[in-house]
């Protein structure tokens, strides 16, 4: 059977953002170590055990174990690649907004707080946005008192930089 060749789309070659905090780097390093020392050896032994049961074409347990091992190998490869290219975030000054800073913004008489990190750590529900997001890009290199305008399809939103932490 021939495998279809798929054309790459707009998002087919996106590389993960290497910017991350030291905490996230250590968390991913622990995950990598767990995969190498515990998960992968256990899955490899499962594959070996099920392979001994005979016919591979009708051995569902073997096929499932092989699929799990394949996914684990892919995760291991991706983690090694990400950690090998990682850039630990160290904001230099608090005069201008940089990756790693927390920022308080004024919007419609309210104060909103965001932390700007790499895309590996974003969680908008907790106020953590990526430096490559539309708002994150607008905020970089701004100072306290600056007003920025985020243009969306529906409207334009104005924010004022209140505080940089």
Residue-wise pLDDT for 88-144, tens only, equals 998 887 889 999 999 999 988 899 999 999 988 999 999 999 999 999 999 999 999
The torsion angles phi and psi of 139, rounded to 5 degrees, stand at -75, -30
Residue 37 backbone dihedrals phi, psi, to 5 degrees: -95, -25
Q: Which stretches does DSSP call E strand in 15-130? A: 19-20, 87-88, 102-107, 110-117, 128-130
CATH number of 102-164: 3.10.50.30
Domain range list for the chain:
19-88, 102-164
Burial of 62 (0-12, 13-18, 19+ CB in 10 A): buried
19-88 and 102-164 agree in CATH topology: no
Q: Model's pTM, two decimal places? A: 0.79
Architecture of domain 19-88: Orthogonal Bundle (1.10)
**Beta-carbon contacts of residue 18 (< 8 Å; ≥ 6 apart):** 82, 85, 86, 87, 118
Provide mean pLDDT across the span 35-45.
96
């Amino acid at each position: 059977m021939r495998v279809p060749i798929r054309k790459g789309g707009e998002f087919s070659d996106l590389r993960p953002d290497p910017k991350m905090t030291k905490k996230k780097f250590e968390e991913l390093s622990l995950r990598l170590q767990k995969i190498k020392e515990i998960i992968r050896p256990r899955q490899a032994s499962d594959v070996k055990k099920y392979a001994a049961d005979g016919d591979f074409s009708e051995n569902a347990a073997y096929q499932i174990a092989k699929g799990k091992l394949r996914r684990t190998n892919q995760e291991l490869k991706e983690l090694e690649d990400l950690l090998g290219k990682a850039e630990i975030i160290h904001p230099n000054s608090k005069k201008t907004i940089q990756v790693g800073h927390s920022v308080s913004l004024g919007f419609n008489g309210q104060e909103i707080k965001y932390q700007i990190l790499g895309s590996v750590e974003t969680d908008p529900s907790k106020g953590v946005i990526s430096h490559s997001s539309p708002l994150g890009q607008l905020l970089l290199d701004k100072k306290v008192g600056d007003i920025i305008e985020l243009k969306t399809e529906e409207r334009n939103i104005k924010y004022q930089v209140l505080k940089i932490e």
